[in-house]
Structure 1
């Protein structure tokens, strides 16, 4: 059995570990029991994960002497809404989960965001554990304490910062993902190289096939991504500074999700991020911040992996430049009406750009739509 990699997230008294490796799901109960002996556990999951993996997790919880209940939601971004959030909260209360017990988020980013937000507010705050089952969740959404749901006005506009007490990332579980869903998560892996680690991006250009295939390269990529995020979160937990760099590609990507009405058949989050990261590099080149070779290199790598890189690749289209701008202006990084983007001076040299000219962005989007 491959030894797990342990990545610490240093947040003082609220520090926690990320355990990464194959076969960790069966022993998750023992890790939770070590954290909270005798606690009751409320597992929040979705129907797909419950069918594939809940028996393994449940057996481990029982073996560790932990009583548990399950709260199941429908898979997909559509569950990150007010109605589902209210139901999850009510079911946690009905299961008599007490303040010293554990809410366990068992699924992808949707489940993690939803369960984490419920844990943040039920009984005014409960401990929770993340057991992410998608690549995107293992390298991004399960780490750092961002939780929340979507509003009709935009993505993740209602939520809270609430750190988990433990993250358990079983890399073998990823073998049950569809190729499309795995590739979508890979976009977030590539993001860490594009933010501030060009050597990692270069390694991914050479090793992406091995990452997709599994084994040591996959564990290496996940651990390196988690270390990058853990370091940024430790410096800036609530995104008042350089944690915003983690949003590279997300302002464009979230707008694309909004205009496609979060329809996963047309676009999933990681695909929106992939297109968004290419757009961020292209807009940076248009502003004279980086040479054109950089966005071309980014697009070539993401396309080789099988990710969309152009607006024209979204089925059903993405509306007009004005519709995209309306979504962008609802982004959480907007300050007093001024746009903030993560732009770049080249691969591995991203930076926070404040007071970006909205008209320049609108013209850029109109040109990219004309090319689609």
Structure 2
């Protein structure tokens, strides 16, 4: 019974050795092929493998010694051993092996175990030595940063190879709303309004666009101007397909706009959300938010001097379910498109505008009431009367 239990334990150890070796081999291959910076549990599995290899060596030590001893002695002549009755037995070195050779020192058993041990070493350690991951980088000793590593990893097809492992999530709604807050109807943007705005030549608008950080703190923005800015920035221009003024990968539109109003005629100061589908403002938080906004914006005072500060956020799952590893690239691209729309619209309306990327994420996300993961602030744009 003890022999059976020991043999079962031996099989368990061998199985775990092979399994851990295959894990290191497969995950190492994926990491090398995908250019991944890190693959989970490699170090832990390495320690586990060494422990298993040591256990296996201890269990088979007697057979390994017998194999080595037999291999060295079989060339020099018969090997004399003793059986359980202490009688010498001569091991035959001819082609007719003696039937009395104990199985415990059979050369084939020792050879098989030694080959298995060597195979485990070659698979678990040799692979890592001869095929190192291409992009395993110590950031403290390299000029590469995590952004560059992501850029390499997010090349088309890399994520698709492991799509069966990664869960990219379900399709969310294209529209975010606050159903239990006050809603303010924005003036409808008529064709005549658009005609007056486009009277300024597009080439002139583009070439005269500048970033302005000085605003007239005594003036208010008209509600009609705010409506025009929001419509031209991300308004729906084709009702049947719900296409918008901003280009979007797959027409998935992951971006949301939160105007933080300081001085707009007809609106109380506070944080608003643009309900794109109905072209309304939803009052998320009323009050003077200039100081928390300036604090989140690294003490840039003009954030509180402009009539309105637009905060652009991204809901990543709207893009992730379809575009997988490319998501962050596409969302940031779209934020750039939206920002340029807002720049040109403000310039055409004769307003000052400035985009800001320097801000503290956590305080700004907290101000908006979002978690910074499923939805996160990406961009700030101030708009107002130029001083």
TM-score category of the 2 structures, normalised to the smaller one: under 0.3
> Greater Rg, structure 1 or structure 2?
2
Q: TM-score, normalised by structure 2?
A: 0.22
Q: TM-score, normalised by structure 1?
A: 0.23
